[in-house]
Structure 1
Amino acid sequence: MISRKIRLMHPDDFNAILALQSDCYPTEFIETAQTLQQKQQLAPHSSWVITLNEQISGYLFCHPWFGEKLPALNSPLNHLPETTDRFYIHDLAISPGARGNKLAEQLIQHAITWAIHANFSQVMLVAVLGADHFWRKHQFKPLPTPLPAAYGEDAICMLRQL
């Protein structure tokens, strides 16, 4: 029997997170450990890992945000906005070997439930590498927001009302 568990991300998870990131993204989308750790430290209650048989098989970095101006990719986020109006999904990755087990769906549902309980009314993200088709299945719709070039030519800002 396969065991799955979603839990808050811990500082000692970052070696596994960096390995997953490397397995899932091309070099231009790889963020440094320092950048990811800083984001997790700013919003420690809204970033999770999912384990499959006690091995980290996916992660989801999220944080509160304000407006449609997006946080830069692979740049330190020194602070969160004082006023927030949305929940921002920064990064979702599932180990290639664990795909097909609905881990992404479980992490997304977990984050959406958390955002609703935290009184957010919308969730925003940037879909890269053609992932907008995946996010549309989760009720996200394109948002006509200009994106920094670092997100890639096919990147699409997306929003879901809660």
Structure 2
Amino acid sequence: MSMTSPRWRPMTAADLAAVNAIAAQVHVAFPEDPAIFAERLALYPAGCFVLDREPDGIGGYVVSHPWRIAEPPALDTLLGRLPAPASTYYIHDLALLPQGRGLGAGAAIVARLLRHAVAAGLSNISLVAVSGSVAFWRSQGFDVMETQALAPKLASYGADARYMVCTAETG
């Protein structure tokens, strides 16, 4: 096994079949229509990447975009357009196949997205942590934001879903 660092590259439309297959495997409890990923890629290609594990194919993906703080989009919902101005950089989904975990790939792409958020003029990055991923996100500098207004928005994401925010380092 090579010890090369994880290679994230920009997602293309040709990657969408693999992305949907990974989503179906990793997020069994949170199915989303293939149109969701296609729309996110079309709306904000600068926030969509795949973990390229040549010659084994794609081992994961991330989909992210500017959005509104404390207003996570409902699961399996088309956005239509991105807000302007945005008040957060939102990670819609980060998914890694089991063979892509434990290699630093998640931390590497989160660091890249934090830099991207700062470059885009956004002072924070947010997400909905699901399936027991809160500990991973805490290790990346995210904290749980709890407000009553968030409860209905999180309902579609499952009982353990937590909205989390990280302040982007601007210095």
TM bin, normalised by shorter chain, reads over 0.9
Q: How far apart are the structure 2 equivalents of 1:97 and 1:50?
A: 11
Q: Could you tell me whether the CA contact under 8 Å between 1:23 and 1:96 is conserved in 2?
A: no
Q: How far apart are the structure 2 equivalents of 1:50 and 1:84?
A: 27
- Within a 5 Å distance, the mapping from 1:28-43 to structure 2 comes to 28-43=29-44
Tell me the residue number matched to 2:156.
Answer: 150
Tell me the residue number matched to 1:100.
Answer: 102
Q: How far apart are the structure 2 equivalents of 1:33 and 1:91?
A: 13
Q: Could you tell me whether the CA contact under 8 Å between 2:154 and 2:162 is conserved in 1?
A: no
Q: How far apart are the structure 2 equivalents of 1:110 and 1:53?
A: 21
Kindly provide the amino acid, as one letter, of the partner of residue 125 in structure 2: V
User: TM-score normalised to the size of structure 1?
Assistant: 0.93
Q: How far apart are the structure 1 equivalents of 2:98 and 2:155?
A: 26
Tell me the residue number matched to 2:54.
Answer: 53
Kindly provide the amino acid, as one letter, of the partner of residue 160 in structure 1: C
Structure 2 unmatched ranges of 5 or more: none
Q: Deviations over 1:29-48 (max 9, x none)?
A: 02111111111111111111
Q: Deviations over 1:92-142 (max 9, x none)?
A: 000112222111111111111111222210001000111111100011001
1:118 to 101, 117, 120: 120
Structure 1 unmatched ranges of 5 or more: none
Kindly provide the amino acid, as one letter, of the partner of residue 96 in structure 1: P
Q: How far apart are the structure 1 equivalents of 2:3 and 2:15?
A: 21
Alpha-carbon distance change, 56 to 2 in structure 1, aligned in 2, over 3 angstroms: farther
Q: Could you tell me whether the CA contact under 8 Å between 2:69 and 2:126 is conserved in 1?
A: no
Q: How far apart are the structure 2 equivalents of 1:119 and 1:69?
A: 19
Q: State the Cα distance separating 1:16 from its structure 2 match.
A: 0.8
- The answer to whether 1:159 aligns with 2:148 is no
- Within a 5 Å distance, the mapping from 1:136-147 to structure 2 comes to 136-144=138-146, 145-146=150-151, 147=153
Q: How far apart are the structure 1 equivalents of 2:142 and 2:121?
A: 18
SS of 2:46's partner is: coil
Pairs aligned (count)? 161
Q: How far apart are the structure 2 equivalents of 1:34 and 1:59?
A: 16
Supply the RMSD in Å over aligned alpha carbons. Answer: 1.4
User: TM-score normalised to the size of structure 2?
Assistant: 0.88
Q: State the Cα distance separating 1:2 from its structure 2 match.
A: 5.0
- Within a 5 Å distance, the mapping from 1:120-135 to structure 2 comes to 120-135=122-137
Q: Could you tell me whether the CA contact under 8 Å between 1:67 and 1:86 is conserved in 2?
A: yes
Q: Percent identity?
A: 30
Q: How far apart are the structure 2 equivalents of 1:71 and 1:124?
A: 12
Find runs of 4+ consecutive structure 1 residues off by over 6 angstroms.
none
SS of 2:141's partner is: coil
